[in-house]
Structure formats: C-alpha cells, structure tokens
Amino acid sequence: MLSRLVSRGLLASAALASCVAASTVVTVSGTASHTIPPLLLLQNRAFQQVTADTTAALYAWSAVNGGEISVIADPSPVSSALPNSLQLTIPQGTSGQVGFGNEGYYGMSCLPRASCIQVNSEWTYNASFYYKFPAASSFEGTFTVALQSAEGQVYASATIPASGSQTAWKQVAVPLKPTTSPTSTANNFTVTLNGAEAAGQTIDFAMFSLFPPTFKNRANGMRIDVATTLYEMRPSFFRLPGGNNLGQTWATRWQWNATVGALVDRPGRMGDWGYINTDGLGLLEYMYWCEDMEMEPIMAVWAGYSLDGESLPEDELAPYIQQAIDQVNFVIGDPATNEWAALRASLGHPEPFPLTYVEVGNEDFFASESYIYRWRDFAGNLTAAFPQLRFIATSYPFDPILDPVPQQYDNHVYQTPTWFAENAFYYDSFERNGTYYFEGEYAVISTNETNLYGTIAEGHLMYPTMEGSAGEAAFMTGLERNSDIVFAASYAPLLMNVGNYQWTPNLVAFDASEVYPSTSYYVQQLFSLNRGTEYLPSTLPTYNGTLYWSVTRDATNILIKISNTDSVAAPITFNLPFPVATYGTATVLSGPATASNSPSAPNTVVPVKSTITLGRSFNYTAPAYSVQVLTATIV
Ligand SMILES: *[C@@H]1O[C@H](CO)[C@@H](O)[C@H](O)[C@H]1NC(C)=O
Ligand SMILES: *[C@@H]1O[C@H](CO)[C@@H](O)[C@H](O)[C@H]1NC(C)=O
Ligand SMILES: *[C@@H]1O[C@H](CO)[C@@H](O)[C@H](O)[C@H]1NC(C)=O
Ligand SMILES: *[C@@H]1O[C@H](CO)[C@@H](O)[C@H](O)[C@H]1NC(C)=O
Ligand SMILES: *[C@@H]1O[C@H](CO)[C@@H](O)[C@H](O)[C@H]1NC(C)=O
Ligand SMILES: *[C@@H]1O[C@H](CO)[C@@H](O)[C@H](O)[C@H]1NC(C)=O
Ligand SMILES: *[C@@H]1O[C@H](CO)[C@@H](O)[C@H](O)[C@H]1NC(C)=O
Ligand SMILES: *[C@@H]1O[C@H](CO)[C@@H](O)[C@H](O)[C@H]1NC(C)=O
C-alpha cells in the first residue's frame, strides 16, 4: 500500500524553485506533417508536382461516361506555378453526361469509411475551377458540377455556363447544397457536360477547389470537427510548418514565399513524408489558424540542412538567411517599411501576428557539426534583425557547444511507457542558468524498446494506449514541476488520416466524417485545461516508482494531477497546505493497459468526472493505469 504526502512541511526543503509559473507548460504541436491536411476534399486538385502525360498524374481522377482525360503540360498554363492542366475531350457519338470525377482523399481505402468525400446536407459547399478552350469553338453549353455516390446517385448539383469562345483562363465558382446526408463517404465530385451537345469539344481545367464551411469561416480553412477537437484542448501554441516538414532535399525544402498569395501561385512541393503538399495550408493560413485557435506560433525557418544529409557550406548561407529574415518579416514586420510585411497587409492582415519563438531548423542533431556554423550565422543574423524574438536550437542541448549560446533548445523523444515514467525527473537536475527547454515532440510509440526505430509493422502502437498515455502523464508531471525551465511541450505527431498514414501513433485520428481523440489526447487536454498559475512543491514521487503527481494552484483551486502507471490501484493520502471545500472533483481517465480509442471503438477510454470528498487530509485511490486531475476549491 502506498501513501504519499503533499504537505506544507516540505515547502521550504523541496529541491525545487518554489512557486514557479506552471502556466507555461502547454500542449499542442504542429508536427501535422505526417498526414494529409484535414481541410481538403479534392485530391490532386491542381496537378501539382506530377509528371504530365502519365497515368500517375491523374491520381484521384477518373473519367465519367467515356470522357477522355489526361494531364497535359499546358503551353498556356493557368500560372507559372501550376504548369499542368487537366484536358477533357468528349468523343464523337457520346450521349448522356460526360466528363470526369474526383474521389477525394484515399478513395482506394474509403470502405467502409476511411476517407473520400463527406456529403452533408447541412452544408453549402463552394466548388470552383478554372477552364479554357485551347481552341475557340462555337460551343455554348453548361458544366454540371455535382456531388454523387460512387454508384452515380446525385446528392447535389449545379450548372455553370461553358462557352467555346473562352480561350483565356476563367475561374468559375458555384455553391453546392446536398439534399441528403448519406452515411457513406464513398462519394465523388464530378464535372460533366451533355455528351450529345459537347461531342468533339476539348476543354482544359485547372485548380479545382471544393470547400465545406470551415472553422471560424476562414478561407482555405480547417475542417470544423477536426479544428474544434483541437480547440477543445485549449492549445497555447502550434509548431509550424510541421516539425519534420522543412525538407528532405534542398530542392524540395519548404519555402514560405511559395505558400502565400493566390492558390494558383502555389506550386506545392514533395513533403517530407512522401506525398505532395498542396501548400493550400500556407504560412498565412497557419497564422490565421493560430489566431482562430487563440494559440501562438512556434515558427521554424529552414536553416541550410536537409534530411537527406546535405548541409550547405558556410559561404552559401547568405540568401537562405535572408529568406528566413523575410519569412519573419512577413509574420511580424511593419508594412510601411518592409515589402514582405506589405505583402501580408495586401493579403488582408496589416497587423503583425504574435510571435515570440523562432526555431532554427529541425532536428539538427542529425547534422550537429555543420550546425555550429549554421546556427552561428542564422541565429546571429536573426537575433540582430529581431532582438525581441527568442531563437530555439534543435541540436542536442550543449552538444555541440554553440555560439551564440542558445537560450532555448527543442528536445524530442519517442520511447516506451517505462522510459517516460523513469524520466519523470529528467529536468530536475538541469541547472537554472538562463537556458530554457521546449519538449517539442514526445510520445510513447511502443512497449518494446527494440522496436522504437523500426517500421510501424515492427511494433509501433497503432493508436495511443492507456499504458502509454499514463507513462506520458508521469513524464508530464515532471515537465510541470520544471516549468520554470520547460517553457512548452507538445505531444507529436498531432493528426492522422486513418486512410493513409506514415507514422503511428498520433494524437488525433480522423477519417472523412469522424474524429477520434486518443487516450493521449485526453491526457493533454486534462493537463491543459487544469494548468495552475503556481507550482506547489510537494513530497516528491519516488524515482522509478509507479505513481507520479504534480500540484499546482490558481486563484481558487488546488489542481492535483496524478498518473498511476501500475497495473493495480494506488491509495494515496493527501495533506493539503490550505483548507479546501468539502467536495471537489476528480476527472479520471483509466482503462486496461492496451485500451485504445480507435475508429472501431472510439470511446473506449474517456475522462469521467465525479464528486469526491475532501479535507485538509483526505484519501484518494488512483485506479490502475490512470491519469486524473483532482480539483479542490480553496476556502
Ligand atoms: C468515385 O470514387 C470511387 C472511390 O470511392 C472511385 O473508385 C471512382 O473512380 C470515382 N469515380 C469518379 C468518376 O471519380
Ligand atoms: C468560392 O470560391 C471562389 C474561388 O476560390 C471564391 O472566389 C468565392 O469567393 C467563393 N465563394 C464563397 C461564397 O465563399
Ligand atoms: C521564394 O524566394 C526565393 C528567394 O528567397 C526565390 O528563389 C524563389 O523563387 C521564391 N519562390 C517563389 C515560388 O516565389
Ligand atoms: C550573417 O550571415 C553571414 C553569412 O553567412 C555571416 O558571414 C555573418 O557572420 C552573419 N552575421 C552574424 C551577425 O551572425
Ligand atoms: C547551463 O547548464 C547546462 C547544464 O545543465 C550547461 O551544460 C550549460 O553550459 C549551462 N549554460 C550556461 C550558459 O552556463
Ligand atoms: C521485442 O521486439 C523484438 C523484435 O520484434 C522481438 O524479438 C522481441 O520478442 C520483443 N520483446 C518483447 C518483450 O515483446
Ligand atoms: C531508474 O531505472 C533506470 C533503468 O532501470 C536506471 O537506469 C536508473 O538508474 C533508475 N533511477 C533511479 C534513481 O533509481
Ligand atoms: C486514509 O486512509 C488511512 C489508511 O487507511 C486511514 O488511516 C485514514 O484515517 C484515512 N484518512 C481519512 C481522512 O479518511
């Protein structure tokens, strides 16, 4: 039987800075790069980064009723960023509606409901595209734009005039209002013409878009259910553009300026996780996302290193340093004096966005020798340009020795539940010397140490488990205790489309119509919604034990977070330093070690709130594999 004390007697002797701000340990990461942006309905909507005249270039598109389609290298493309067009030829002798369709994201896997296109009669969709006739004709007809089932049942349909005299690109848009909400998401977006009337015509198309309403109605915005789930965690920051999405190669590196402005001016790029990024979620959309979610960006700049191992030599860094400075100016600069800030203003946001932290590269411990000069020149120039900002180094802390001395480091760790519990005291021994830490990526990914770095099939968890989430929570009690030096923390990765993923587990999974918060999501949420303003020193948990806690307070409550990583329940006695109300609440997440929330069992483990009886001294039993917050009102 275990008995733990939280007592006033230890306030003075705790080996910790007393009363440090707990409010800075926060929760959400932008390592969303492992999954498709959850906002797009059409896949391959602009034929970005594909090779024209190949079958592969047509992925996600198919002909309807004998329409002949191909992706061409257009001699008159819609923009220099989008060189490819979809060309439709309607053969002679056809009848009925002829054209093409898009299956949405991950059509191959959308049965029973992995992805594809959700059709919801409560929504009005906005469908748009560009078209032109490569050769003028006398044709006058209509495009029929529709949402329909894979079997051809039409749920929403609208027409747009089509004129053969239109030889310059023209953008057209139409609202689509479905009449029903089918449960299946195996649906298509189609564009067709009357085959008998249009036979023999050839038409080019570019930059399709189909949007349902978005979170806070933001243009190019987020899917409402996904964004709302994240918002309900009350994240304080978002790390962007993804952790590991700055570039596998120099040529494919993320460049902020290729992601802003009109969608037709965004070329897209091969992202770091093996699929093409549309960059429809560009730097400005990221900033609006932060604004709409009431969180701050932690923004990375590309710093001369690509994950293929190539580091730029020192004498070639200058233009990239300038590009990083331009990126920061786009976010915070003064439109009156800076052209990139003026670009931001012209795009609708003259006010600077809030920005405190800029991360110089990503995981530069992979190339630590070259980071010595890259950090020196990037951090040196950025600090000179923006003395008000704080720059985060991404090598191992103090290895190698960097100059200027980093004031912030970003630590990443993917490990077992046992490792996380054993490292609950990781930061306690760090000197308090002006260096601050960002636990930028962490997650339990396996229960078997030998499988940590293997492929997913070799033993990564598919979804977070209760045992893993309890291990993370044990570690997080240590982050909270050390929140005088750990200024931010975020589980990673954040999002996973269950129809197509590169890495497991992830905090939140989703498919075309549902969102599945994991056990680790609820742990992040419990910690985030119950941050104190002060950390209260208490008797410390036992090193390598099974029970971990941290105690904070705000103006009205004592907030006690407890993780029990053991397979048996743990009775605890609390002696509080303040009198508290007779009744408080316990919000408890617990379940069997291997319990997960998954698409087939989404609510296996959810937090349960109950009233508990308190006192200056009270007993509480933490269930096996549990994470909980006890709230006691100070009287
Ligand atoms: C419709 O979507 C299905 C997948 O759900 C796909 O197999 C089919 O090719 C699509 N058809 C069209 C015309 O896009
Ligand atoms: C629909 O999309 C088009 C193209 O992006 C845009 O110009 C138009 O304003 C949108 N309409 C609505 C109602 O949002
Ligand atoms: C972005 O800016 C860099 C220079 O900083 C330039 O080389 C590149 O062409 C620009 N990309 C786009 C798409 O504008
Ligand atoms: C700025 O970068 C240039 C080019 O890499 C370098 O020569 C210079 O020393 C840097 N300046 C500072 C203040 O770090
Ligand atoms: C701060 O402390 C760490 C060890 O915790 C040490 O390695 C580092 O050099 C110190 N930094 C400064 C600026 O003294
Ligand atoms: C851990 O994984 C390795 C490699 O897959 C396997 O051989 C071993 O039996 C596993 N150990 C446990 C305890 O599951
Ligand atoms: C905790 O356990 C780990 C792994 O067995 C061991 O390396 C470490 O020394 C232990 N820590 C303490 C304080 O006992
Ligand atoms: C807490 O539990 C201990 C051990 O069972 C018991 O002696 C004590 O009276 C309990 N305290 C309260 C306040 O119930």
What pLDDT digit, counting tens, does each position of 42-65 carry?
Answer: 999 999 999 999 999 999 999 999
Radius of gyration of the chain (CA): 27
Angle at 295 between CA 293 and CA 300, to 5 degrees: 120
Provide the CATH number for the domain formed by 55-211 in this structure: 2.60.120.260
- The DSSP bridge pattern shows strands 84-89 and 202-211 to be antiparallel
Q: What's the topology of domain 215-241+271-295+324-350+368-531?
A: TIM Barrel (3.20.20)
- The structure's pTM equals 0.93
H or E element in which residue 345 lies: helix 339-346
Q: Which two three-digit tokens encode residue 346?
A: 């012209």
pLDDT of residue 40: 74
- The DSSP bridge pattern shows strands 276-277 and 508-510 to be unpaired
In whole angstroms, how far apart are CA 614 and each of 548, 572, 582, 635?
A: 20, 13, 5, 12
CA of 543 to the centre of ligand 7 (A): 7
Beta-carbon contacts of 213 under 8 Å, excluding residues fewer than 6 positions away, are 123, 124, 224
Pocket test for ligand 5, best of 433, 437, 485 (most atoms within 8 A of CB): 433
How large is the average pLDDT for residues 4-27? 26
Which of the four pLDDT bands, split at 50, 70 and 90, describes residue 39?
Answer: low
Domain with CATH 2.60.40.1180 in the chain: 547-634
Number of H helices, E strands in the chain: 9, 30
CA 104 from centre of chain = 20
Handedness of CA 460, 462, 466, 472 (dihedral sign): positive
544 ligand 7 Cβ < 6 A = yes
Read off the DSSP letter of residue 490: E
pLDDT of residue 497: 87
Residue 79 in this model has a pLDDT that exceeds 60: yes
Q: Which two three-digit tokens encode residue 614?
A: 């308190």
Q: What is the pLDDT of residues 280-318, one digit of tens each?
A: 999 999 999 999 999 999 999 999 999 999 999 999 999
Domain with CATH 2.60.120.260 in the chain: 55-211
How large is the average pLDDT for residues 113-118? 69
pLDDT of residue 107: 56
Measured CA to CA, the distance from residue 181 to residue 121 in angstroms comes to 5
**Dihedrals φ, ψ of 241, to 5°?**
-85, 70
Q: Say how many residues make up the chain.
A: 635
Bridge partners, residue 159, by sequence:
144
573 ligand 8 Cβ < 6 A = yes
Which of the four pLDDT bands, split at 50, 70 and 90, describes residue 203?
Answer: very high
pLDDT of residue 568: 98
How large is the average pLDDT for residues 492-500? 89
Q: What's the topology of domain 547-634?
A: Immunoglobulin-like (2.60.40)
Torsion from C-alpha of 98, 103, 104, 110, nearest 10 degrees: 160
Torsion from C-alpha of 497, 501, 506, 508, nearest 10 degrees: 0
Pocket test for ligand 5, best of 395, 396, 398, 408 (most atoms within 8 A of CB): 398
Q: What percent of the chain has pLDDT over 70?
A: 92
| 37 SS3 class | coil
CA of 552 to the centre of ligand 6 (A): 39
**CB-based burial label for 572 (10 Å; 0-12, 13-18, 19+):** buried
The overall average pLDDT reported for the chain is 91
Task: Give the position, in ligand 5's atom list, of the atom nearest the Cα of 401.
Answer: 9
**Half-sphere exposure at residue 576, Cβ-oriented, CA atoms within 13 angstroms:** 25
CA of 103 to the centre of ligand 1 (A): 5
- Give the residue whose CA is nearest to atom 8 of ligand 2: 173
Place of tokens 């408890």: 588
126 ligand 2 Cβ < 6 A = yes
450 ligand 6 Cβ < 6 A = yes
Measured CA to CA, the distance from residue 573 to residue 567 in angstroms comes to 19
CA end-to-end distance (rounded Å), the chain: 31
How large is the average pLDDT for residues 238-247? 89
Task: Give the position, in ligand 3's atom list, of the atom nearest the Cα of 257.
Answer: 1
Residue 18 in this model has a pLDDT that exceeds 70: no
Residue 472 in this model has a pLDDT that exceeds 70: yes
- The DSSP bridge pattern shows strands 84-89 and 140-149 to be unpaired
Q: What is the pLDDT of residues 261-286, one digit of tens each?
A: 999 999 999 999 989 999 999 999 99
- The DSSP bridge pattern shows strands 187-194 and 202-211 to be unpaired
How large is the average pLDDT for residues 12-18? 23
Least confident piece of the model among 469-478, 534-543, 585-594 = 534-543
Which of the four pLDDT bands, split at 50, 70 and 90, describes residue 502?
Answer: confident
- Give the residue whose CA is nearest to atom 1 of ligand 5: 433
Place of tokens 């609006």: 288
Handedness of CA 80, 81, 83, 88 (dihedral sign): negative
Q: Which two three-digit tokens encode residue 125?
A: 């969709």
Domain with CATH 3.20.20.80 in the chain: 215-241+271-295+324-350+368-531
Residue 13 in this model has a pLDDT that exceeds 50: no
**Dihedrals φ, ψ of 621, to 5°?**
-115, 120
| Among the listed residues 503, 476, 628, 486, the one whose alpha carbon sits nearest the alpha carbon of residue 564 | 628
